[in-house]
C-alpha cells in the first residue's frame, strides 16, 4: 500500500512472518517513508486485522462518511492518522518507531484519489492473509 503526496510518500509492504508459524494473524511489514530531507526504511510486525481496520476507515473517509482514518499497531511500530481537510485534501500525520526506539514524526498531504488507490491496494493485501482469530471462531 502506498499513500503518495506531492512532497512525500509512505509505503507498507507485507509478507507472512513464517508460513509454518502458529499464529498467522501477524505479518512482517517493510515501512518506507520519504519526506523532504529524510528517508526511512525499517521493518516491523503488524496484525492483519490492523490493516483491515485501516482499510475500512479509509473507505469511510473516501465515501465522506468519516473525516478521519487511523492506523495503529499493537507493536507500536507505526501510527498514521489521515484527516480530511475542508479543501478536500487529506493530511496524513504519523509516527514511525524502529525496534531500537528511533522515531520519526512526519506529515504527508495527499488527496482522495491517492486514498482510493491505497484502498484498492489494501483490499488486495488483506485478502491474501487470513485472520486466525476470526477463522477459528467460525
What are 61-112's pLDDT values in tens digits?
Answer: 999 999 999 999 998 999 999 999 999 899 999 999 988 889 999 999 999 9
pLDDT band, very low/low/confident/very high, at 135 (cuts 50, 70, 90):
very low
* CATH superfamily, domain at 2-128: Transcriptional Coactivator Pc4; Chain A (2.30.31.10)
- Alpha-carbon distance values, 26 to 7, 58, 93, 135 (Å): 31, 21, 24, 14
Sequence ranges of the domains in the chain: 2-128
The pTM score is 0.85
Q: Which residues of 21-38 are buried (b: 16+ CB within 10 A; e: fewer)?
A: eeebbbbebebebbbeee
Amino acid at each position: 500500500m502506498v499513500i503518495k503526496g506531492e512532497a512525500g510518500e509512505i509505503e507498507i509492504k507485507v509478507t507472512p512472518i513464517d508460513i509454518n508459524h502458529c499464529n498467522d494473524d501477524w505479518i512482517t511489514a517493510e515501512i518506507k517513508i520519504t519526506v523532504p530531507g529524510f528517508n526511512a526504511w525499517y521493518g516491523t510486525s503488524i496484525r492483519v486485522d490492523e490493516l483491515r481496520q485501516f482499510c475500512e476507515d479509509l473507505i469511510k473517509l473516501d465515501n465522506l462518511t468519516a473525516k478521519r482514518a487511523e492506523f495503529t499497531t499493537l507493536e507500536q511500530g507505526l501510527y498514521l492518522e489521515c484527516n480530511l481537510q475542508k479543501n478536500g485534501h487529506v493530511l496524513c500525520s504519523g509516527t514511525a518507531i524502529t525496534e531500537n526506539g528511533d522515531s520519526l514524526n512526519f506529515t504527508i498531504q495527499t488527496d482522495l484519489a491517492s486514498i482510493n488507490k491505497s484502498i484498492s491496494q489494501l483490499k488486495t493485501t488483506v485478502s491474501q492473509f487470513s485472520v486466525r482469530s476470526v477463522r477459528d471462531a467460525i
